[in-house]
Amino acid sequence: MLKNKNVLLGVSGGIAAYKACALTSKLVQQGAEVKVVMTEGATQFVNPLTFQALSRNPVYTNAFDEKNPEKIAHIDLADWADIVILAPATAHLLGRVANGLADDMLTTILLATTAPVYVAPAMNVHMYDHPAVKENLKTLETYDYRFIEPGNGYLACGYVGKGRLEEPENIIDVIATRESKQQTLRGKKVLVTAGPTVEVIDAVRFFTNHSSGKMGYAIATEARDLGADVTLVSGPVQLDPIPGVEMVPVQSAKEMFEAVVSRFEQQDMIIKAAAVADYRPKQQFSNKMKKKDGDLSIELERTEDILKTIGEKKQTQYLVGFAAETDHLLDYGQEKLTRKNLDAVVINDISEENSGFKSDTNAVHVLTKSGKSKAIPLQTKQEIASQLWSVFIEDQKGDPS
């Protein structure tokens, strides 16, 4: 998918710069036209002549070296690029870019380009975990920069941990996969809910469930890759925020209800994958309840029914619900589809091994209001998300399949 693409490779000054040589070669082998821009630090690790030989193009190192008087080099390169890759992206480069600095050839190009930017960080494990680096990464996420996570392993500094530049083959695979997706949801606003809710009992205790949020996050990621403007309303999970997706963190069912309903009218599609509590303690205590002799009874009350509420309100929106079941999957799924006025329902058997909560894999069955029924066998949740979006998109077209 990178054939005939103009790829601008930005190389910064870290020992992992040697891997950028292999990345350049493999991009050329893929049929891409590659031009390399190096920071001053990068030239201390790899001679620019190496990249010139591998890319068969001049290498740019100096913002003031204007090779063609008819063009401003950094603007010309920024306009030329279809894709920009920063590999390796050091902590120093991330800090400069996150703060809008333009003090060399590479950073001036990054401010001027409108091409998608893929960032492959590489640094010491403690540097990668430093609060300043984390903050810079979050800032770049708001700019819709796309990240290729560093790997775990032995680092040049002698440490073992996260910070090693991802292998060139994997960098190319990630970019090719993302770029190959048709932007079938471009211009659409999509809201996804994910994760569990937490219902407080007292200062230290709460009710929750086993949802990890992985399925909802995979659905939101896929929607982003298909070009949608995505909002993710998420309960508390141990997952990283998704670059390019508006994140709305919530705790309780009431907070999730308010977050969804307040945004509902602006959405084209709502995918409600969160596992929302059906009940909460009727009375909540600000202090810790002390242990007493005998049993304890906690009176529960119903939480707000998010799906039912927006199902009654929806006009042109496409509404999808999830049903986690242990038996009679299709019967319960069809009943939920009808009762809550959904356009589609995704049912998964949480009693099956490697399927449902906390697992990285899932197997689901999709029913639609228009009569479609599709079983999706066990696979990764990201693969499930891709197939689900195919069903939702085709269902809205009225496709007979």
225: domain CATH number? Answer: 3.40.50.10300
Same domain for 323 and 221? yes
Same domain for 270 and 378? yes
Residues 6+ apart with CB under 8 A from 100: 111
Residue 327: DSSP 8-state: S
Which residue among 138, 158, 180 closes a domain? 180
Same domain for 208 and 159? no
Same domain for 154 and 62? yes
- Name the residue with tokens 């950073």: 107
Same domain for 320 and 212? yes
Burial (CB count within 10 angstroms: exposed 0-12, middle 13-18, buried 19+), residue 32? buried
> How many independent structural domains does the chain possess?
2
Same domain for 203 and 136? no
Same domain for 157 and 41? yes
Q: How far is CA 368 from CA 8, 115, 117, 325, 348, in A?
A: 44, 37, 37, 17, 15
- The CATH number that applies at residue 124 is 3.40.50.1950
Please tell me the predicted confidence (pLDDT) of residue 232. Answer: 97
151/230 Cα distance (integer angstroms)? 27
Provide the token pair at 167.
């292998």
Residue 294: DSSP 8-state: S
Please tell me the predicted confidence (pLDDT) of residue 401. Answer: 44
DSSP sequence for 29-86: HTT-EEEEEE-TTGGGTS-HHHHHHHHTS-EE--TT--S-TTS-HHHHHHHH-SEEEE
Same domain for 349 and 293? yes
Provide the token pair at 21.
């040589």
Is residue 128 assigned to a domain?
A: yes
141/144 Cα distance (integer angstroms)? 5
Is residue 1 assigned to a domain?
A: no
Please tell me the predicted confidence (pLDDT) of residue 356. Answer: 65
Provide the token pair at 397.
């077209």
Please give the model's pTM, rounded to 2 decimal places.
0.64
Q: Average pLDDT of each block of 10 consecutive residues along the chain (401 residues)?
A: 93 96 97 97 98 97 86 94 97 97 96 95 93 93 87 77 88 85 86 96 92 95 92 95 89 97 96 95 91 90 95 94 85 93 91 72 93 91 92 81 44
- Strand partners of residue 89: 121
Is residue 252 assigned to a domain?
A: yes
34/83 Cα distance (integer angstroms)? 10
Burial (CB count within 10 angstroms: exposed 0-12, middle 13-18, buried 19+), residue 96? buried
**Which of 75, 156, 157, 204 is the catalytic position?**
157
39/44 Cα distance (integer angstroms)? 9
Same domain for 91 and 221? no
Coil, strand or helix at 17: helix
Is residue 391 assigned to a domain?
A: yes
Question: Using an 8 Å Cβ cutoff, are 365 and 373 in contact?
Answer: yes
139/236 Cα distance (integer angstroms)? 21
Please tell me the predicted confidence (pLDDT) of residue 80. Answer: 97
Which residue among 163, 180, 197 closes a domain? 180
Same domain for 209 and 88? no
Which residue among 129, 159, 180 closes a domain? 180
Structural domain that includes position 30 = 6-180
Is residue 100 assigned to a domain?
A: yes
Same domain for 341 and 216? yes
Which of 362, 354, 352 lies closest to 385, judged by CA?
362
Please tell me the predicted confidence (pLDDT) of residue 11. Answer: 98
Is residue 329 assigned to a domain?
A: yes
Is residue 32 assigned to a domain?
A: yes
157 catalytic? Reply is: yes
Q: How far is CA 164 from CA 16, 51, 176, in A?
A: 8, 21, 21
Is residue 173 assigned to a domain?
A: yes
Same domain for 200 and 136? no
What number of residues does the chain have?
Answer: 401
